[in-house]
Amino acid sequence: MTSIIKNSRVLVTGGAGFIGSNLIESLLKDENQVICLDNFITGKRDNLAGFKDNKNFTFIEGDIRDRDLCSKACDGVDYVLHQAALGSVPRSIKDPVTTNEINVGGFVNMLWAAVEAKVKRFVYASSSSVYGDSPNLPKVEHDTGKPLSPYALTKSINEQYAAIFSKSYGLETVGLRYFNVFGPRQDPYGAYAAVIPKFVLSLMRHESPLINGDGSFSRDFIYVTNVIQANQKAAVAENVETVNTVCNIACGGRVDLNELFEAIRKELSRFDHNIGTIEAEYGPMRNGDIPHSLADISLAREMLGYDPQIQFREGLAACAEWYWNNYKELV
């Protein structure tokens, strides 16, 4: 990817996570000074192992619910790329209190710390879940429905708080509504793993993946490299209309779960032909799931100059190879 942020001091919250660690890797390649703030609730120390000896990398272990720590992390920073959150719709339904404490309370702490530190711009991860019960496709930024989960509600509140901080304190904010991000370092383990690494793990174990519902639900999957591009372009975009914008970050296409399963099975069969014989199992639909998501990405193209470079099948092939190389001991 062409260099975008250069010679800057950048704070990545949630930097030990899947998206955050990929962001850090890209920023360090361009000789930026990078500060990572993470509490390891969902992030992993292994994701940071490759950076620990880099003179431009600083790690702060802690929680965005700690206001003083947020202030410390923002000190002297040019840009904040805020990825820290307690993700997963099912987890938020099981534990809405902690989800709200981190995703809303922690978010406000970070906004206020950015104001006090006079950062140039605060770029934050929102979510396609804010579209809630709206049946309209493709999803357009100004047309949202009612949230269907506590997680979705927290992301909607984040967008409103960002707008208030932009208006009240002059903080430049840009929200990125991620659709279904996938790629290297995405955790395949646990009850709240995302669908692609979950399917990959099952197939590599020669087990049948579980598809919730009949497999007709569809998603706009986006490879993580495109998300890195969006974050960096959002941080430095010079168009004044970019400030306080919320943009869809996706590829503008959709794949249903049956197609996804078949595509993952095909990619992994390149490494183990036995995987090609495994069939999926079907179970009940999950509470809070949106049936379909498809993004209109024209606003991100206009405001950020965003242009997804890696499409679904290319990204999936790279992703399958990464999992095979890192988890082949499962076979």
DSSP strand E in the chain: where? 9-13, 33-38, 57-61, 79-82, 121-127, 173-178, 180-182, 210-212, 218-219, 221-223, 245-249, 255-256, 281-283
Question: Is 223 among the residues known to form the active site?
Answer: no
Cβ neighbours, 10 Å, residue 47: 23
201: tokens are: 């793990």
For the entire predicted model, the pTM comes to 0.93
Q: What pLDDT band is residue 330 in, cutting at 50, 70 and 90?
A: low
209: tokens are: 């993946």
SS3 304: helix
Q: What is the pLDDT of residues 236-255, one digit of tens each?
A: 998 888 899 999 999 999 99
Which parts of 123-223 fold into alpha helices (H)?
A: 150-169, 195-204
296, 248 contact by CB (below 8 A): yes
Task: Report domain extents, the chain.
Answer: 9-185+224-251+294-309
Q: What is the pLDDT of residues 254-276, one digit of tens each?
A: 999 999 999 999 999 999 999 99
- Average predicted confidence (pLDDT) for the chain: 94
Q: What is the pLDDT of residues 159-185, one digit of tens each?
A: 999 999 999 999 999 999 999 999 999
Catalytic residue among 151, 178, 306, 323: 151
Residue 165: predicted pLDDT: 98
Q: Using CB atoms within 10 A of its CB, is residue 9 exposed (0-12), middle (13-18) or buried (19+)? A: middle
Q: What pLDDT band is residue 193 in, cutting at 50, 70 and 90?
A: confident
Regarding the domain with residue range 9-185+224-251+294-309, which homologous superfamily does it belong to in the CATH classification? NAD(P)-binding Rossmann-like Domain (3.40.50.720)
Q: Indicate the length of the chain as a whole number.
A: 331
Residue 287: predicted pLDDT: 76
